[in-house]
Amino acid sequence: MMRYADFVQTLSVRCTLKPTPEQAEALEATVQLFTEGCNHALRVAKERGEFRRFRLHRLVYKDLRAMGLSANLAVQAIARVGRKRGSRAKFYQPTSCHYDQRTFSLRLADETVSLTTVRGRMRIPLKIGNYQRHLLRQAESVQGAVLTKGPKGKWYVHIQIRVRTPEPPPGGRVVGLDLGQKALATLSTGERFSGGPLKGKRLHYLRKRAEVRSRLDRPSERTKSVKRLWERLRGREARFVNNALHVLTKRIVEALEPGDVLVLEDLTGLRERTTKRGRKERHLHNLWPYARFRFLLEYKAVLKGVRVVAVDPRRTSQECPRCGYTSRQNRRSQALFRCGACGFQHNADWVASVNIARRALAQGAGSEGLGHGQLALMPGNRLTYFRLLAS
Ligand SMILES: [Zn+2]
């Protein structure tokens, strides 16, 4: 039997905090002071044109201590500004605070964390689900954490952990995944995941929400019971989607083998790069909490020894995998791809998944550091294989 060296991966796990009112007040004051410290350090860094951490430390450390920040939080504030070297950051909003191993610790026995605040060290209970518990138990070490305040005054802690995962064996397959409209997810190996009731239910909630929202917009109907209905609807939808995403990502990872490289469309990147959103992206954005889907998929994949890479998804549904001819006309309908140049014809989502995998191969996903992968295709499909070997 072959044995593989261990492989260490850093993951960030978001957990809800359950502070008492006094603790919440202390967190608030801490985030405020930390942010003031960051903004002071940023101002000085800009004035002096000095973003190097050690130089900046000499310039502002005493000020930050005088403001009331603990030594460790002062160091973290300087690190945060130092990281933003030459950045265009204007100033920081008081919504987060960075912690390292000295200012933050996790105790799994009673599921609490301990944080340095302006009122001293505090132990605060976590509210976590099974998947967070599972991940945290796997943690080899805790690197640090980011405390954030969400809308409606909820507190979260993003715990950075290192997990030891199986080293992906070399020679794995490169598998593309397309988030489609017909099937929610299609792998280049031919597996398709309808997402179960996810799509239909989500549309149902979308309509329902619009309905209640319009009632909330009319002052005469904005009653307590309508507001409660709104909250209930949001909660039910969130739980439903979360559960469906867990099931879907679990099934996708079950279709993969340790050593495979899973290639995704980088939809978050697309959102940052272009202000004009494509039709597909808009559609998915409404139906799909993409960031959440990706996180769940990524961590399940990583724990199985499957690596995940993301590629630019533009025009992946318009390119012919056999001859390379790219045209909007190639996509005859939502379901059908037919190449205008060579006549190659196939399921449109599958064609997109193949193109996604090929993009990663072109970027070297199959070689350097990722094992010598080969494009994984539907069994028996040699049409595209031929072209790939030739190119
Ligand atoms: Zn073609």
Nearest to 319 by CA among 300, 299, 338: 338
More confident residue, 274 or 78: 78
Ligand 1 centre distance from Cα of residue 214 (Å): 48
Ligand 1 centre distance from Cα of residue 346 (Å): 11
pLDDT in tens, 122-150: 999 999 988 789 889 888 899 899 999 98
Q: What is the mean pLDDT of residues 103-112?
A: 94
Q: What is the mean pLDDT of residues 7-35?
A: 89
Q: Cβ atoms within 10 A of the Cβ of 305, count?
A: 19
DSSP string, 5-69: -EEEEEEEEEEEE---HHHHHHHHHHHHHHHHHHHHHHHHHHHHT---HHHHHHHHHHHHHHHT-
Residue 271 has pLDDT above 70, yes or no: no
Q: Scan for tokens 């993009």, then name that residue.
A: 359
Residue 153 has pLDDT above 70, yes or no: yes
DSSP state of 152: G
Q: What percentage of residues in the chain have a pLDDT greater than 90?
A: 27
Lowest-pLDDT range of 86-90, 129-133, 173-177, 225-229: 86-90
Q: Are 233 and 205 in contact (CB under 8 A)?
A: yes
Beta carbons within 8 Å of 278's beta carbon, 6+ residues apart: 270, 314
Ligand 1 centre distance from Cα of residue 350 (Å): 15
Ligand 1 centre distance from Cα of residue 327 (Å): 10
Ligand 1 centre distance from Cα of residue 277 (Å): 27
Q: What is the mean pLDDT of residues 64-79?
A: 91
Q: How far apart are CA 350 and CA 337, in angstroms?
A: 9
Ligand 1 centre distance from Cα of residue 384 (Å): 10
Q: Are 222 and 216 in contact (CB under 8 A)?
A: yes
Q: What is the pLDDT of residue 369?
A: 46
- Which range among 164-173, 352-361, 374-383 has the greatest average pLDDT? 352-361
Give the CA distances from residue 182 to residues 60, 187, 193, in Å, rounded to whole numbers and listed in that order: 56, 13, 10
Q: What is the pLDDT of residue 316?
A: 87
Residues at Cβ < 5 Å from ligand 1 ion: 320, 322-323, 325, 339, 341-342, 344
Residue 5 has pLDDT above 80, yes or no: no
Q: How far apart are CA 261 and CA 373, in angstroms?
A: 7
Q: What is the pLDDT of residue 288?
A: 66
Enumerate domains of the chain plus CATH numbers: 6-166 (no CATH), 173-197+239-390 (3.30.420)
DSSP state of 387: H
What angle (nearest 5°) sits at the alpha carbon of residue 304, between those of residues 302 and 309?
35
pLDDT in tens, 39-69: 999 999 888 888 888 899 999 999 999 999 9
Residue 386 has pLDDT above 50, yes or no: no
